[in-house]
């Protein structure tokens, strides 16, 4: 049987994680958050006391990831996200993580018949032959608001201006890097969630996958 691959790409805070998990659950597919791979490399580099732009350290750490690294709660910290954006611009880091991602698409775990893989370059570089490609986006102010709401559940004091500033910086780093920059694949379905909640985004994405939707929303 053919494995179905759904690629979900887009900038930080667009809602890729929530949508990818919902779709994976709905279709019974495996889910891979590729951002956590880059975050795990970044965390290792930071714990080495090195700068995330240090190529040799980051490339070395990218070959040493373990399952435990991917469960570390510090992966979700803002500082880890910013550092991940930096290590992800290093070609040797991307190369080291490529095979793991492709193997997930070829043979999803637990004999699942499909995989939902989210990131920045899944539809363009990791798995251009994906059966469905969704590029999820939203206005940066909307993404910042969602991130602030998420942080409020964990922290008391949040610097909202800093959240917006970090997102703008991360967008720039991810879009402007020369290796595998963030951009929609030519054949991606563009889904702007600025005016959609989780249920709305899920409904549009599901309809698109089932071949019932019209042109890009």
Least distance in angstroms from the C-beta of 193 to ligand DC: 15
**Distance from C-alpha of 137 to C-alpha of 33, rounded to nearest angstrom:** 17
Stretch of 65-73, 81-89, 131-139, 151-159 lying at the interface with ligand DC (CB under 6 A): 81-89
Q: Does 35 bind ligand DC (CB under 6 A)?
A: yes
Which of residues 15, 24, 29, 34 is near ligand DC by CB under 6 A?
Answer: 34
Q: Does 10 bind ligand DC (CB under 6 A)?
A: no
For ligand DC, the closer CB: 12 or 185 = 12
Q: Does 81 bind ligand DC (CB under 6 A)?
A: yes
**Distance from C-alpha of 42 to C-alpha of 189, rounded to nearest angstrom:** 30
**Distance from C-alpha of 33 to C-alpha of 20, rounded to nearest angstrom:** 8
For ligand DC, the closer CB: 121 or 137 = 121
Laid out side by side, the sheet with 30-33 consists of: 30-33, 114-119, 4-9, 132-137, 189-192
114 CB-near residues (< 8 Å, 6+ apart): 3, 4, 5, 6, 27, 28, 29, 30, 108
Which of residues 60, 120, 132, 208 is near ligand DC by CB under 6 A?
Answer: 120
Q: Does 39 bind ligand DC (CB under 6 A)?
A: yes
List residues binding ligand DC (CB under 6 A): 12, 34-35, 38-39, 81, 84-85, 88, 119-121, 170, 174
């Amino acid at each position: 049987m053919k494995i179905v691959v759904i690629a979900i790409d887009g900038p930080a805070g667009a809602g890729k994680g929530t949508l990818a998990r919902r779709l994976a659950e709905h279709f019974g597919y495996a889910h891979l958050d590729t951002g956590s791979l880059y975050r795990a490399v970044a965390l290792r580099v930071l714990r080495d006391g090195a700068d995330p732009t240090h190529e040799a350290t980051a490339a070395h750490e990218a070959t040493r990831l373990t399952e435990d690294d991917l469960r570390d709660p510090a992966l979700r910290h803002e500082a880890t996200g910013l550092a991940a954006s930096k290590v992800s611009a290093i070609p040797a880091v991307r190369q080291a993580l490529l095979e793991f991602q492709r193997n997930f698409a070829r043979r999803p775990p637990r004999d699942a018949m499909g995989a939902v893989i989210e990131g920045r370059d899944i539809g363009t570089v990791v798995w251009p032959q994906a059966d469905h490609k969704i590029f999820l986006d939203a206005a940066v102010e909307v993404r910042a608001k969602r991130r602030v709401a998420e942080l409020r559940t964990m922290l008391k004091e949040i610097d909202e201006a800093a959240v917006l500033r970090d997102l703008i910086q991360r967008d720039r780093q991810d879009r402007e890097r020369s290796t595998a920059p963030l951009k929609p694949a030519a054949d991606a379905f563009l889904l702007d969630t600025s005016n959609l909640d989780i249920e709305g985004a899920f409904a549009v994405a599901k309809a698109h996958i089932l071949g019932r939707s019209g042109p890009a929303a």
